[in-house]
Amino acid sequence: MGCSGCGTTPGGCKSKGRCSSGGCSKMHVYDWLSDIAISPYDDFNIFEVSFKDGARKGFFINEENLDIYTGDQVVVEASMGYDIGTISLGGELVKIQMKKRKVKETDEFAKILRIANEKELALVEEARSREKETMLKARIMARSLGLDMKLGDVEFQADCKKATFYYTATHRVDFRELIKELAKEFKVKIEMRQIGARQEAARVGGIGSCGRELCCSTWMNTFKSVNTSAARYQNLSINQTKLSGQCGRLKCCLNFELDTYLDALKDFPEKADFLETEAGTAKLMKTDILKGLMFYAYPKQGIFYPIPIAKVKDILKMNQEGKKPADLLEMADVQEKEESIEFVDVVGQVSLKSLEKTEKRTKKKKQSGNNAPQNREVAQNKSNDNASPSSEKTDNPSTGNPQKKNFKKWKNNGQNKNKTGE
């Protein structure tokens, strides 16, 4: 995604080419209540303001009753001086966001001072232009001091009086000397803030394996722990390269559909690994959770029988009573086409390419084995008809066929023996 897609957004590009995550939808929130008429007496004077294209957000109160809307750039109070951000959310949706972040309406909030003018917006552009060079110099300083830390991002305040450095580290880091060096170099107040790997990926942004912008850098505000059990419940192969995101941790999207799978798994019977039938004992090979199918197969057969959950429960009851069905074919959920039953191999461990390669190898071996006696007979007939002492001497040993040469030597030896015997 680039700024070419900004024509679809109202008002055009808000970032003016500073799309840090590859697009203009970073931390964007769709106001789905904008078309609903709300009573003017229920106006909520707390707004959500985002900074640095959505890398950081905060709640600010509009005590001056300014006529501001979503997308306006405003000047807000900061710890020292002021900062400039964009209103990302307003109205009733702010209450929902505050509830998610466990922020109460009775808490103290910084004020929204005024709408930013052109001169103040130019200061923001100047502050953003200094961040990349500042981060590179800070990394060199941290490496020279031997600090085991990684500086992921730098954010300057709009008035250029304060700079916040975001870093990740596995252990506690003593960065007092680094703060002194940074303060001397950049002549601003320095704040060091440690973040996790997921927060770092959210600030840097990027494109995920799905082809879309990272969820953590677009709409996610909180990060829940992700375990490998989430992948097991969804029948996903435990492959670290496929399950890990750009932060190096398990993907957050593994939790998105986990509740749906857990609800569906409640209907599946327990201790259903084997089913006893008159044809033999069938083993459970795979379960399709969303379709409600359990695939069984006999030990010496490569056919998978998809059986619904209800029928599996019936077979288990029959086995408990000492009864056995005739065959799984009667219980399977199959599709009949031209009076033939087709079963699908759903193991997923053997690919079609590998099967095609093995088939080609077996065909080549069979063809070579069948053609070998014929080739020998043809060569023997040709050698009997056309072989002569002069022709044998003119053969080039470097380019000839070794099997043909051995055959000629064997033939010559036999002819010489016949001559001496005569």
Task: Give 36's Cβ-side CA count (13 Å radius).
Answer: 7
Residue-by-residue DSSP string for 212-230: SB-GGGTT--------HHH
pLDDT at position 30: 65
pLDDT at position 101: 85
- Mean pLDDT of all residues in 223-235: 89
Q: Is the pLDDT of residue 367 over 60?
A: yes
Whole-model pTM above 0.85?
no
- Mean pLDDT of all residues in 204-228: 86
pLDDT at position 191: 93
- Mean pLDDT of all residues in 27-37: 62
Q: Is the pLDDT of residue 230 over 70?
A: yes
pLDDT tens readout for residues 241-257: 889 998 889 999 999 99
Instruction: Give the percent of the chain with pLDDT over 90.
Output: 37
What torsion do the CA atoms of 402, 403, 406, 410 make, to the nearest 10 degrees?
A: -160
pLDDT at position 333: 67
Structural domain boundaries in the chain: 27-116, 123-201, 274-342
CATH topology of domain 123-201: GMP Synthetase; Chain A, domain 3 (3.30.300)
Separation in Å, CA 147 to CA 139, 155, 196, 391:
10, 21, 17, 83
- Mean pLDDT of all residues in 182-207: 90
Pairing of strands 46-51, 56-61: antiparallel
- Mean pLDDT of all residues in 305-318: 91
Q: Is the pLDDT of residue 193 over 80?
A: yes
